[in-house]
Structure 1
Amino acid sequence: MQKVGKYVKTLITWLGARWQHWLTRLNERARANKAKTIALPPFSAKTWPLYLDIVLQAFKTIIYYAVAVLAIGTVFGIGLLAGYFAAIVNDTPVPTRTAMQRTLNNVDQSTNLYFADNVELTHVKSDLIRDAVNLDQVSPWVQKAIIATEDEDFYANAGVSPKAVVRAVFSEFTGVGSQTGGSTLTQQVVKLQFLNSETTFKRKVTEIMYALRINHFFSKENILQAYLNIATFGRNNKGQNIAGIQTAAQGLFSKNAKDLTLPEAAFIAGLPQSPSVYTPYTASGTLKRDISAGIQRQHTVLFRMYRAGSITKKEYHDALAFDLKKDFQGHDTESDDATTKYAYVYNMVTSEAKSILARQLAKADGHTQADLDKDSALQNQYLTQAQTLLTTKGYQVHSTINKQVYDSMQTVVKNNAYTFGTTYSSSDIDPETGEYTTESEPVQNGSVLLNNRTGAVIGFVGGVSGELNHIYTTRSPGSSIKPLAVYGPAIENRVIGSQSMLADFKTNFPNYSVTDYGGQIQNQFISATDALANSYNIPAVNLYDKLRQSVNVQSYLTKLGISTLTAHDYAQLGLALGGTDYGVTVEDQASAYTTFENGGRHTDAYVIDSIMDPGGNVIYKHHENPTQVFTPATTYIMQQMMHSVITKGTAASLNYQLSFDTSNLIGKTGTSNDYKDIWFVGSTPGVTLASWIGYDNANGTAYNLSSSASETNLAYWAKLANATYKLIPNTFKADETPTEPSGVARSTVNKLTGQHNGNVDFDGTNYAVSGDTVTNLYNGTAPTTATSQFGIGGTMENYKLFWEYVGGKRSNGYGKVTTEYGANSNQ
């Protein structure tokens, strides 16, 4: 005590000296101003109380001033804060009760995928799985544990914790602390369902406003149910991240949430504070060796329940003594992936949805599709963002695919894949293991059914096996391209009519030789309709050679939606037979064919009908944007010509295989060189169904199909068509006969020349053209004059042979089929 008294006396002496110094300065100023001086007795042991009193008075005055300044600052700060709060509230959109209810009830954060007609498909794969339940399906122990642990005052508060507000203000203006903490259950629901995880003052204000509004509109039971379905609970015994009390109960204890015991409920209730720390399972789904952190957290929850009066002392001690470890499930290695059965659909729909959202995000940032196409890094950036939205925002993606139709098509391919051709097996040494591995390579199939008017994908077959969706792989179209690249543009530009003659003689093109299927040459002039029906190659090449001299064929195929062909493709005569650098996809080919049954308008194929946000707002809706490619007259003429493929051409076998009226069925077969690719694309007035079969040959193999593969594919196509027609007959519109438009000109022409009967001169000889006639369909006014050189691609030698034949020389070889062995097999 003596030392303390000494220190105090020294401090007072020092303060007195400083005070005396200040008074001396003050007196000097006073004398300078001729003012009265201030006199104080010298500082001594007798006068120090006086000096102490002066110091205390001065300190008191300073305190008063400080308190006044602080009070004024506090009032100013509160006013400023109130104004800031009011400004945030004023600028924040106030959601309606209906909108809040939709969002509150939408606890499935992962996007839902749907077939057509709102038939559920599955969820988008996510790191987080969740199942929602009603509150009456949750054990009372769980409800008590959550409230005692997370928000003891839950039933009494207005949805907001005052201490959380104070903490947020302090953090915002002092920069001390980055976590707001202490939120009520209602505020946690707001953070998880309505807002992002950003911890700013503005977000906190919005959180408070939403919490108050939710507490006003909804019961405590509604709020508690939402929390229990939203909260994350670590991992399950498969290593999956889980959320929702039902998923946690199943994943940890293999029971429903309503059946959880007190020890189990307390353990689960402790998980949300730090799921990754307290979860009993590893990322692989095995039980952790050390689960003491989770058990200790369970004990904390039990104590809080006991403290809150939710459980008795006996229940508390019994729960502490319970050996919970034996209740945890063992590691589960079995997959329960709901997307396995519909893997092709799942991948197609999610891929398309991701592309749509990516385009929307890019557009919002001022980028066009062209920007994305030329910058792969930029495109990947937005695709990544879109994937995040699909896995976290609870969208609803509605597709156009009819589930029943899709299922029936899968049944057909499963039952008929063995007929496609040989399944080859190959063995190779695995470079990593050094062991032999065997791989099978079956004949694959890609088929797609489209709505002609809208372009909607109704159903499809992605493949016989594997993950590759074969409606998107590019393959040589063979002769199935002829209506698109040759005959359609030729009719449109009045290069030919339906009965115009095309030369089918041995050709003499520089660096290019062509024959009909099987190396045959017909050695005669053939009408455009018959040439298309029988898929003769030489007439198609002659017509394409003539056509490209005055017509931009590329513009037509581009408008038809085919964008995979190259400039090199268009420069080659082989394009008329499907010779391409990369080929076309099944979907694009089918989509192009819909044009012939849609009045000459092409509408791109699509699979996403709409995308909705969790609040039910449509953020994307598909709108058809048809492009007029051909006139209605051309479309009608092509329908008549392509119907001949069914009645008397390469697809005539369909007539006795189909269960519906084929009177209005049109189509075209296609075979590439060496039977690598086999096609048939057929259309009714309502739908188009395309089928391709072939080997992938992805590992350097070069397997080909058999020569009978075209008939095999036709039989398979018929079974697909029959199965789908049975389900959606009205969509097929099979009995809807097309009306002939006014632009079609009809004329009667000679069957051999495609021109009017009459007299013509050839090489100084007059020939009377008469005999059988046919009706020629022409886009616009049909030609009325007759000439001796009537066919496209014919040489003087060909005409000489023809006119000799007409003149009576029937054995001159005209019309006699010859074969050049080793030639191509396109059909």
Structure 2
Amino acid sequence: MNKPQKWWQAFLKNLQQLGQRLAAFFQNLGRRLTRNRGQAQTKTTWQFKVNVFIQTIRSLAIYLFSGLLVVGALAFGLLLGYFGGIMSHESIPTYASMKRQIENVNQSSSLYFAQKVKLADVKSDLIRTKTSYNDISPYLIKAVVATEDDDFYEHRGVVPKSLIRAVLSDVTGMGAQTGGSTLTQQLVKMQLLSSETTWRRKATEVMLALRIDKYFSKQQIIESYLNVATLGRNNAGQNIAGVETAAQGLFGTTAKNLTLPQAAFIAGLPQSPSIYTPYQQDGTVKKDLTYSMKRKDVVLFRMYRHGDITKKQYNDAKKVDLRQQFQAPTTASSSTTEGYMYNLLLGQARNILIDQLIEQNGRKVATVKQDAKLYAQYYDQADELLKQKGYRIDSTINKKLYDELQDVTATQGTTFGSDYTETAFDDNLNKNVTITEKAQTGSVLLDNETGAVLAFVGGRDFTDNQINHAFDTQRSPGSSIKPLIAYGPAVENKVINSQTMIADFAHNFNGYKPTDYNKSIENRFVPATEALAWSYNLPAVNLYNHLKNETKVDVSSYMSKMGINLTNSEYSQLGIALGGTDRGISVEQNASAFATFANGGEHVNPYVISKITAPNGSVIYRHKSKKTKVFSKSTSYIMQQMMKSVISTGTGTQLAWQLNFNTSNVYGKTGTSNDYRDIWFVGSTPGVTLATWMGYDNFYGNSHNLTSASSNTNMTYWAKMANALYQTQPDLFKLEQTPVKPAGAEQHQVLTSTGTEAGSISYGGSKINLTGAKTNAWFNDGATPAKASANFAIGGTDENYKLFWDHYQGKSNDYGVVQNVDDNGDVIKRTTTTTDNSADSGTNTNSEATTNKDVNNSSGQNTDSGNNATDSNTTTGGTGSNPDTGTEENNNQDTNNTGKPGTTTDQGNTGGKDTNGDQATNNQPVTN
């Protein structure tokens, strides 16, 4: 059969014929009216009046009909114009693209690691088995055509009159909701389009149906349709599609060997699979099959009416009891996936499609998210696309690196903490259950430059705990937040240099009394680098307070640019400087924010999905990295130098001997929250950032915490992961790329004692010559050392300065002696303190602690050294008005210092109150 070059030519021809018929109708009507007028003159008056009335009614009817015809023609013209406008913006699919889509029975989307390594297909509740046209029963083909589209072999893919009828029915709400869809259109809807019901989609459907009919034979179209049509459930309770799957799942035979009644039953399913399917979710046959059997009889009648079967075949087929032929119930086989990875990719791909669907409908994503019901509709639509439309999702996750992290986690997991088995009440199950609470972990490996997540650990065992602790949980960041919220902004705004002195004395901030670890205080002014390296809490709080209330630096702007959005209430509390958030942050967020320093002060949003490819081969989503300037290059460089001391001399020194590679370009930050609830370490190299967290989920309101040794455990875990990653792909770390010093970062010498220039100052009526040992300090963007001053530090009170200057002038006092405080924040007098002013090393012990303290004498020289081994962690500290705010940190660290001037003492941090209002403590050693 020859086809016209344009689909609309046949349609216009039909319209022309309709116009000719209407013209003939009106011509005959006019002749009758003329004849009636002549006859009226010979009739009686009353008859004449009746005729005039009838003619008037007829005239009005004619005018009304004509008006409706004009309006209809106008509406039809507008419809054609709308259709043409839509089609002008639609890309025309190629033959190869259409063939691939209509013949693809594996409609489930595919998930991939990086480098085209397949992870899995998206689990779909719809199963299909493909078959060929020659392996399908002729009964079934005839039954489907007679039932669904009896003009299938005559039309060109669409039937204009059916389409117009469907449009009028949709607009007016009158008549049967037939949809006007041919088998070709149904195939297009199932394989090429989404399930949305919009005019745009309908217009696209018509265009594609015409194109499918032009390039493919009727045999190809019916074969594809029968392979993908949804057909209810099988005897395992699974949703099925395709006639081969239906034949096997319903009758235990093949599509080729279906009997006439069996074929008629399957052909009746597409109209309403959920109603007509004989099976329930558990695979058992429904008790009431009345609707199913009536539908089968309707199909048989249409086959008989269409001339496909004889009357005897029709009657015989109706008498067959198909219930006896249905398969007995069975159990579906289960499949496994790599849980954390699978769920992460599926969830993020779904979110991307949801946003696209919302925007395609001209809505704003933020607005739709506020309407839970509306958002749920888009969620279901995107979920259906992923399960049934054959998308391909490519990720950034490197399988080799991912597997390495899982192996390390499996090996080290038993060291994380104790398991707690107990009974708890489950609200969902409404009964008591026995649960085992295990210490969990979450880790993220991030490419600094691109923001790509290269690998992660979601938890210890997906079968035991499905929560993804790397992306989906939010925990207190502890002191790992200090570089982000305090030190980074302070360097950027030239509030401090790397050796600026910050007060570490007992202080009451309007009811908030933070301390360092283990309810201790340094009782001295501490250089910024040392305060950061040993994660002292009081200097961090003093610095944040200074930024907030003295220099008016908007810290929130830096945090939000790094992807961490906190509330104004959180920022108003000084405990935020120690990680005291209301909800916390994720491991992904912490790693991404931290990577800002490695990326020259520019933040790049982290991402996992690199691209999504539609079934037709077009890329509908490709990640585009966006860089946001947060800090200057010089600030980032200085922060790197300061945080290198965490590993070289501070709380992370164990990494120096645990890592199997050069650590000269490695830097990081530890973090611990109240009562060892959360343990962190975030570390960077020039190439990557690796962040890891440990803690308990405490699902049922438990209060299980880690121990004081957990910081060491976490860093050992971090080191083993880093070693495994480096052995697998060392180039990722870029260890040979020593950061180039930016022009804005400059070094100047400052006095070790005050962090200022040498000079003369007046204090207490006396002139003091400020001289002594000097050290190099990093300054940002043209800043220079401060002049010698009596008030040289951040956060110091008059009492603190008096203690310092008296000590500087040689008076014996407690300056620099670690002190402890009680629960009320009052200083407890130290019972034993040893000060060694010789250059030799010494070890002193007592019942409380070992203190080998170097002291700045009047010449500014450090004269003591010693040995100590202590631990540290972080605790949550709040303000006096809000005890739920604030965390501080302690870090476990073993330090052996022999014969080196100016080394350690046993001292640390304690901070505020935790979320239960209990006093929290931290303990850690100090290096001056």
Above 0.5 in TM-score? yes
Identify if the C-alpha distance between structure 1 residues 278 and 560 changes in structure 2 by more than 3 Å, giving closer, same or farther: closer
Counterpart for residue 666 of structure 1: 667
Offset, 1:673: 2.0
Offset, 1:334: 5.5
The amino acid that maps onto 2:678 is D
712-721 or 341-350: which moved more? 341-350
Offset, 1:169: 5.7
For 1:413 and 1:320, the matched residues in 2 are separated by 64
CA contact (8 A) 2:260 2:317 kept: no
Is 2:658 the partner of 1:657?
yes
Equivalent position to 2:565, from 557, 563, 574: 563
Secondary structure of 2:654 counterpart: helix
Counterpart for residue 383 of structure 2: 390
Counterpart for residue 94 of structure 2: 97
Per-residue displacement from partner, 1:352-396 (whole Å, max 9, x unpaired)?
A: 33553365257x13x463x457xx22x551352243133147244
Map 1:20-99; keep pairs closer than 5 Å. Answer: 26=42, 90-91=84-85, 93=87, 95-98=92-95, 99=97
The amino acid that maps onto 2:191 is Q
Is 2:599 the partner of 1:598?
yes
Counterpart for residue 577 of structure 1: 578
Offset, 1:804: 4.6
113-122 or 507-516: which moved more? 113-122
Counterpart for residue 843 of structure 2: none
Name the TM-score, length of structure 2 as normaliser.
Answer: 0.70
Equivalent position to 1:149, from 143, 150, 159: 143
The amino acid that maps onto 1:557 is M
Counterpart for residue 412 of structure 1: 408
For 1:336 and 1:253, the matched residues in 2 are separated by 25
Is 2:440 the partner of 1:444?
yes
Counterpart for residue 506 of structure 2: 506
Counterpart for residue 527 of structure 2: 527
The amino acid that maps onto 1:427 is T
CA contact (8 A) 1:146 1:269 kept: yes
For 2:264 and 2:113, the matched residues in 1 are separated by 40
Secondary structure of 2:589 counterpart: helix
Counterpart for residue 275 of structure 1: 273
Task: State the structure with more CA Rg.
Answer: 1
CA contact (8 A) 1:172 1:200 kept: no
Per-residue displacement from partner, 1:20-43 (whole Å, max 9, x unpaired)?
A: xx98961789xxxxxxxxxxxxxx
Offset, 1:531: 1.1
For 2:749 and 2:648, the matched residues in 1 are separated by 21
Equivalent position to 2:221, from 204, 220, 223: 223
Is 2:245 the partner of 1:244?
no
Identify if the C-alpha distance between structure 1 residues 562 and 219 changes in structure 2 by more than 3 Å, giving closer, same or farther: same
For 1:663 and 1:460, the matched residues in 2 are separated by 25
Offset, 1:582: 2.8
Offset, 1:530: 1.2
The amino acid that maps onto 1:382 is Y
Identify if the C-alpha distance between structure 1 residues 483 and 671 changes in structure 2 by more than 3 Å, giving closer, same or farther: same
Identify if the C-alpha distance between structure 1 residues 282 and 800 changes in structure 2 by more than 3 Å, giving closer, same or farther: same
184-193 or 473-482: which moved more? 184-193
Per-residue displacement from partner, 1:766-807 (whole Å, max 9, x unpaired)?
A: 335123533444442312522343322334444444445444
Per-residue displacement from partner, 1:542-584 (whole Å, max 9, x unpaired)?
A: 22222222122222222222113x3232222222222233333
For 1:199 and 1:543, the matched residues in 2 are separated by 58
Counterpart for residue 825 of structure 1: 921
Offset, 1:753: 2.5
Offset, 1:508: 4.4
Secondary structure of 2:102 counterpart: helix
The amino acid that maps onto 1:129 is L
Per-residue displacement from partner, 1:214-254 (whole Å, max 9, x unpaired)?
A: 23323455424421332111112342322234544664578
For 2:450 and 2:570, the matched residues in 1 are separated by 29
Secondary structure of 1:506 counterpart: coil
Offset, 1:642: 0.8
Identify if the C-alpha distance between structure 1 residues 326 and 805 changes in structure 2 by more than 3 Å, giving closer, same or farther: same
For 2:253 and 2:409, the matched residues in 1 are separated by 40
Offset, 1:405: 3.3
Offset, 1:80: 9.6
Q: Which stretches in structure 2 are left out of the alignment for 5+ residues?
A: 1-34, 46-62, 824-909, 911-919, 924-928
For 1:340 and 1:355, the matched residues in 2 are separated by 22
Identify if the C-alpha distance between structure 1 residues 155 and 112 changes in structure 2 by more than 3 Å, giving closer, same or farther: farther
Offset, 1:479: 0.9
For 2:769 and 2:748, the matched residues in 1 are separated by 21
The amino acid that maps onto 2:507 is T
Identify if the C-alpha distance between structure 1 residues 533 and 328 changes in structure 2 by more than 3 Å, giving closer, same or farther: same
For 1:534 and 1:520, the matched residues in 2 are separated by 13
CA contact (8 A) 2:111 2:392 kept: yes
Secondary structure of 2:454 counterpart: strand
Secondary structure of 1:502 counterpart: strand
For 1:658 and 1:258, the matched residues in 2 are separated by 65
CA contact (8 A) 1:805 1:812 kept: yes
Offset, 1:536: 1.3
The amino acid that maps onto 2:499 is Q
CA contact (8 A) 1:353 1:608 kept: no
Offset, 1:124: 5.2
Counterpart for residue 63 of structure 1: none
The amino acid that maps onto 2:422 is S
Offset, 1:749: 2.3
Counterpart for residue 457 of structure 1: 453
Offset, 1:730: 3.0
547-556 or 666-675: which moved more? 547-556
Secondary structure of 2:661 counterpart: coil
Is 2:498 the partner of 1:473?
no
CA contact (8 A) 1:679 1:710 kept: yes
For 2:381 and 2:145, the matched residues in 1 are separated by 31
CA contact (8 A) 2:105 2:227 kept: yes
Offset, 1:742: 0.2
For 1:258 and 1:341, the matched residues in 2 are separated by 42
Secondary structure of 2:351 counterpart: helix
For 1:222 and 1:23, the matched residues in 2 are separated by 65
Offset, 1:487: 0.8
Counterpart for residue 330 of structure 1: 329
446-455 or 398-407: which moved more? 398-407
CA contact (8 A) 1:497 1:779 kept: no
Question: Greater helix share, 1 or 2?
Answer: 1
Identify if the C-alpha distance between structure 1 residues 161 and 767 changes in structure 2 by more than 3 Å, giving closer, same or farther: closer
Offset, 1:120: 4.2
Secondary structure of 2:270 counterpart: helix
Map 1:794-809; keep pairs closer than 5 Å. Answer: 794-808=796-810
Offset, 1:206: 7.2
The amino acid that maps onto 2:211 is R
Offset, 1:728: 4.2
Counterpart for residue 59 of structure 2: none
Percent identity, aligned pairs only?
Answer: 44
Offset, 1:644: 1.0
Counterpart for residue 622 of structure 1: 623
Identify if the C-alpha distance between structure 1 residues 709 and 402 changes in structure 2 by more than 3 Å, giving closer, same or farther: same
Offset, 1:747: 0.8
Map 1:546-557; keep pairs closer than 5 Å. Answer: 546-548=546-548, 549-550=550-551, 551-557=553-559
Counterpart for residue 790 of structure 1: 792
Offset, 1:495: 1.3
Identify if the C-alpha distance between structure 1 residues 740 and 205 changes in structure 2 by more than 3 Å, giving closer, same or farther: closer
Secondary structure of 1:151 counterpart: helix
For 1:200 and 1:486, the matched residues in 2 are separated by 52
Counterpart for residue 717 of structure 2: 716
Name the TM-score, length of structure 1 as normaliser.
Answer: 0.78
Q: RMSD between aligned alpha carbons? A: 4.6
For 2:423 and 2:78, the matched residues in 1 are separated by 72
641-650 or 508-517: which moved more? 508-517
CA contact (8 A) 1:105 1:226 kept: yes
Counterpart for residue 42 of structure 1: none
Identify if the C-alpha distance between structure 1 residues 424 and 350 changes in structure 2 by more than 3 Å, giving closer, same or farther: farther
For 2:426 and 2:76, the matched residues in 1 are separated by 70
CA contact (8 A) 1:124 1:391 kept: no
